[in-house]
Chains A and B, each alone.
Chain A
């Protein structure tokens, strides 16, 4: 069971309630595909991913980035039970999407960097620690049902 302090809950809720999903989601996913190009393997049907500019302007990637970011909402609302909350999503990623769970961490790192760029100095070390803890729990839960 993951323990969350009141402060951590507050930090996580703050970040997500002030988030522009349509901006951050696309940016995080695009960055992941550019910085870790092997992750493009899951998006062969998304159209032109030929170079960084193509990725950044690809509407399918943008839509999907927003969708993935909204996927985190349920974890934010169920901090005390992220593992159960994501059991089905984990099965989906394993059995249907066949995503290597190592990729979850890559996207999490890119999301951290995009949020850091957005918040600037407001992304203090304490807030970074809390946010990364949250993402680590999500990443773990998403990999849990793989076998």
Chain B
């Protein structure tokens, strides 16, 4: 299920459209993940405040989304482009890769909420494929 040229164009075009709301997307997606999948909170036990809209959650949502934006720019070779991030997740953060899927789902839900007309099924499938490919590149160094 690799990204076709059409997928890449679709993702780049859609991302350009949503790019000025990227921080809000990140914060909302992270909020939803922590609330809808409480087991994900186990990775953030070191934060004082996990409530929606809290400073650590907003900041981290921004960090994650700038990673996703970066991945869009490296869409032609995600494995190489995300090597450092993969090492970080594999050796330092050690996030179970199942969680990438969970966060991806919440990003898609937020996109549907914020862009109900633009987030068509055609764009949805390309974005879903892209986030899956991103997750795969991120898991590259795990074992």
Task: Point out residues on A near B: beta carbons under 8 Å.
Answer: 30-31, 34-35, 52, 55-56, 109, 112-114, 116-121, 123, 125-126, 128-129, 132
B24 CB to nearest chain A CB (Å) = 11
Residues of B within 8 A of A31 (CB): 121, 124
Q: Name the prevailing secondary structure of the A interface residues.
A: helix
Task: Count A-B contacts at CB 8 Å.
Answer: 51
B36–A116 CB distance below 8 A: no
B121–A35 CB distance below 8 A: yes
CA distance in complex: A52, B121 (Å): 8
Which B residue's beta carbon lies closest to that of A126?
A: B35
A87 CB to nearest chain B CB (Å) = 28
Which B residue's beta carbon lies closest to that of A130?
A: B36
Query: If the complex has contacts A34-B122, A123-B113, are A113 and B108 also in contact, measured as CB distance less than 8 A?
Result: yes
CA distance in complex: A139, B26 (Å): 28
Residues of B within 8 A of A34 (CB): 121-122, 124-125
CA distance in complex: A121, B32 (Å): 12
Interface centre among A31, A112, A113 (most CB of B within 10 A): A113
Residues of A within 8 A of B121 (CB): 30-31, 34-35, 52, 55-56
Residues of A within 8 A of B116 (CB): 117-118, 120
Residues of B within 8 A of A109 (CB): 105
Residues of A within 8 A of B125 (CB): 34-35
